[in-house]
Amino acid sequence: MTSAIAENLRIIRDRIANAAIAAGRAADSVTLVAVSKTKPVDAVIEALAAGQTVFGENRVQEAESKFPALRADHRFDLHIIGGLQTNKARDAVRLADVIETLDRPKLADAIAAAMTKENRQPRLLIEVNTGDEAQKSGVSRTDADGFISDCKGRFGAQLIGLMCVPPHDQDPRPHFEWLAARAAKHGLGTVSMGMSADFEIAIACGATWVRVGSAIFGSR
Ligand X SMILES: *Cc1c(COP(=O)(O)O)cnc(C)c1O
Residues at the interface with ligand X (CB under 6 A): 35, 37, 58, 81-82, 165, 195-197, 211-215
Instruction: Supply φ then ψ for residue 132, to 5 degrees.
Output: 45, 50
CB nearer to ligand X: give 116 or 170: 170
Q: In sequence order, what E strands does 30-178 have? A: 31-35, 54-57, 77-80, 98-102, 123-129, 139-140, 159-163
CB nearer to ligand X: give 26 or 163: 163
Q: How far is the CB of 192 from ligand X (least distance, A)?
A: 8
Which single residue brings its beta carbon nearest to ligand X? 213
What's at 176, amino acid-wise? F
Q: How far is the CB of 104 from ligand X (least distance, A)?
A: 17
86 secondary structure, DSSP code:
G
CB nearer to ligand X: give 178 or 209: 209
Q: How far is the CB of 89 from ligand X (least distance, A)?
A: 17
Report the distance separating Cα 154 and Cα 106, nearest Å.
13
Q: In this structure, how many other beta carbons lie within 10 angstroms of the beta carbon of residue 91?
A: 18
* Helix (H) or strand (E) segment spanning residue 210: strand 209-212
* Helix (H/G/I), strand (E/B), else coil: 67: coil
CB nearer to ligand X: give 110 or 195: 195
Q: How far is the CB of 197 from ligand X (least distance, A)?
A: 6
CB nearer to ligand X: give 72 or 179: 179
Q: How far is the CB of 38 from ligand X (least distance, A)?
A: 9
Listed in sequence order, the residues at least 6 apart from 144 whose beta carbon sits closer than 8 Å to its beta carbon are: 126, 128, 182
